[in-house]
Amino acid sequence: MHNDILKVMLSEEEIAEKVRQLGEAITADYEGKQPVIISVLKGSVVFVADLIRSIETDIEIDFMVVSSYAAGTVSSGQVQVIKDVGMSLKDRHVLIVEDILDSGITLSYLKELLMARDPASVRIATLLDKPSRRKADIEPDYVGFEIPDEFVVGYGLDYAEKYRNLPFIGVLKPEVYENAGDGAVKEC
């Protein structure tokens, strides 16, 4: 295992089984609706790649890049769209796919932004949910795992752009970020 990882929170096998279940639920709910799946980069890239392959109805996919963290592991409360979707969402069923719902500031901003485009519906699928950290009034429609308030990496999630390629979700050793300096804008 990687040296900076304290412990595995969710194994590759546990994640795969959960993603399969989420895909089944989404397939049933969106049958015949051809939803637009919007992956919020970069954190959701591994999750969305697995998720779409477990969905058995027609879908389209697009990507957005938003930045929300001013520094380190605490949300700045400010959200900026760096890259928008390239298609009209009018009358479309939109499913936003995120890696983790933490304070909820990113997703509540994003949901409001997309709702203003006159879609048929907007729902949220998140692999991880940290409900104890919520600041914004937002609830996900599909959740993989509720997790405690610990900073996790792997399966797309990063710390300072590292660890996204780990196949499991693990807890980072606190000393890895304790001494890190603040300041850089971080993409999701």
What's the rounded Cα separation, in Å, for the pair 149 and 69? Answer: 17
Residue of 99, 102, 129, 158 marked catalytic: 102
Q: Which of 10, 105, 114, 176 binds ligand IMP (CB under 6 A)?
A: 105
What's the rounded Cα separation, in Å, for the pair 65 and 185? Answer: 13
Contact yes or no for 148/131 (Cβ under 8 A):
no
Instruction: Report if residue 102 touches ligand IMP, rule: CB under 6 A.
Output: yes
Instruction: Please state whether beta strands 36-41 and 93-101 pair in parallel, antiparallel, or not at all (unpaired).
Output: parallel
Please, which residue, 44 or 92, has the CB nearer to Mg ion?
44
127 binds, among Mg ion, ligand IMP, none (CB under 5 to 8 A by kind): none
Q: Which of 48, 17, 2, 9 is nearest to 156 (CA)?
A: 48
Single out the segment in contact with ligand IMP by CB under 6 A; choices: 7-15, 28-36, 56-64, 100-108.
100-108
End-to-end CA distance of the chain: 25
Instruction: Report if residue 124 touches Mg ion, rule: CB under 5 A.
Output: no
Q: Which residues bind ligand IMP (CB under 6 A)?
A: 43, 68-69, 75, 98-106, 151-153, 157, 188
